[in-house]
């Protein structure tokens, strides 16, 4: 089985749009400092890296699924050209109501990716910038990391907190070094 790091998109890989707005064009993707390096480090530590993102902008008619998939194809290409590999992007196109099994905090996207790529969720991580990301990871059985990009300390049930994806990647790699002996049965 494979170990994976699941990443939220907005606020983890790229700058989040202002409240109430959505990233609807490639030109609005502003990759965060260290994002490529973080994915590269995780790849070289043996992690499959998969993006799992809520994109209700599709349900709201702000862009089509095809337009969103084109943005994601470009995202995959941008990372690959820098030597970092995002294996896939899973997205939930639904609005908050009616509830679905894929919209985080539900674990549907993680479970689907785990089945497709034969991922062992118990040795995998979910990295996000919201409580719903952390809850999805915990529900799926993953370790969790919360990215908090400012100085405020957030109350979170995440296993670790970092100021960026790169900071989270370093902490995940340190945790991985300390854990293998404890996981031998």
129 is catalytic: no
Q: What are phi and psi of 86, to 5 degrees?
A: -95, 120
Backbone angles phi and psi of 44, in degrees to 5: -75, -10
Q: How far, in Å, CA of 42 to CA of 172, rounded?
A: 9
E strand or H helix at 131: helix 131-140
Tokens of 170: 């370093």
Give how far the C-alpha of residue 22 lies from the chain's centroid of Cα atoms, to the nearest Å: 17
| Catalytic status, residue 10 | yes
The H-or-E segment that residue 116 falls in is helix 108-117
What is the set of active-site residues? 8, 10
């Amino acid at each position: 089985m494979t170990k994976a790091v699941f990443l939220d998109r907005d606020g983890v890989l790229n700058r989040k749009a202002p409240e109430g707005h959505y990233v609807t064009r490639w030109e609005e993707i502003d990759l965060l400092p260290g994002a490529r390096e973080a994915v590269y480090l995780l790849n070289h530590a043996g992690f499959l890296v998969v993006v799992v993102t809520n994109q209700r902008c599709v349900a709201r008619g702000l862009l089509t699924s095809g337009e969103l998939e084109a943005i994601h194809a470009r995202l995959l290409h941008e990372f690959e050209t820098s030597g970092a590999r995002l294996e896939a992007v899973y997205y939930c196109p639904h609005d908050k109501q009616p509830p679905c099994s894929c919209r985080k905090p539900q674990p549907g996207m993680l479970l689907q990716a785990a089945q497709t790529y034969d991922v062992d969720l118990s040795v995998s991580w979910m990295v996000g910038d919201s409580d719903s990301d952390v809850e999805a990871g915990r529900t799926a059985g993953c370790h969790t990391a919360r990215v908090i990009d400012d100085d405020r300390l957030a109350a979170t049930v995440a296993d670790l907190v970092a100021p960026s994806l790169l900071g989270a990647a370093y902490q995940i790699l340190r945790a991985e070094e300390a854990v293998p002996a404890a996981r031998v049965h």
